[in-house]
């Protein structure tokens, strides 16, 4: 244990100057900022994909239920379902593009 204390005291006496310490802090904080940016991008894309999947599922669930109840309205329900699908998918793609826009 005494050897460890001696070693630590020698290392503390030979610490680098404040400029080197400041540059090390900058590198560490830059890595943290980059990590948070990556985490934010992943979260944005994940939420966009999850929201789009839930929305598309609900649209087609409702369309199939409507076609089962009123088969004579199948053509109109199918058209409305595909329009809803297109709008929801566009929102999911906007969320995907947002991940590349974030800095």
Q: How confident is the model over 66-77, as pLDDT tens digits?
A: 999 999 999 999
Mean pLDDT of 35-59: 89
pLDDT (tens digit per residue) in 26-45: 555 566 677 888 888 888 88
d(CA 73, CA 93): 30
Q: Kindly state the tokens that stand for 75.
A: 């053509």
Q: What is the pLDDT of residue 62?
A: 96
Q: Of 64, 62, 59, 63, give the one whose Cα is nearest residue 86.
A: 59
What's the CA gap between 25 and 31, in Å, rounded?
10
Domain boundaries, the chain: 47-103
Phi–psi pair at 17, nearest 5 degrees: -70, 170
pTM here is 0.62
Query: CB of 91 within 8 A of CB of 48?
Result: yes
CATH topology of domain 47-103: F1FO ATP Synthase (1.20.20)
């Amino acid at each position: 244990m005494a050897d460890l204390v001696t070693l630590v005291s020698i290392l503390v006496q030979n610490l680098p100057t404040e400029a080197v310490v400041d540059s090390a802090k900058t590198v560490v904080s830059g890595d943290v900022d980059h990590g948070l940016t990556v985490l934010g991008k992943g979260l944005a894309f994940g939420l966009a994909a999850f929201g789009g999947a839930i929305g598309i599922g609900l649209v087609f669930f409702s369309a199939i239920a409507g076609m089962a109840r009123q088969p004579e309205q199948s053509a109109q329900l199918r058209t409305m379902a595909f329009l809803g699908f297109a709008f929801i998918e566009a929102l999911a793609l906007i969320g995907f593009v947002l991940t590349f826009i974030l800095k």
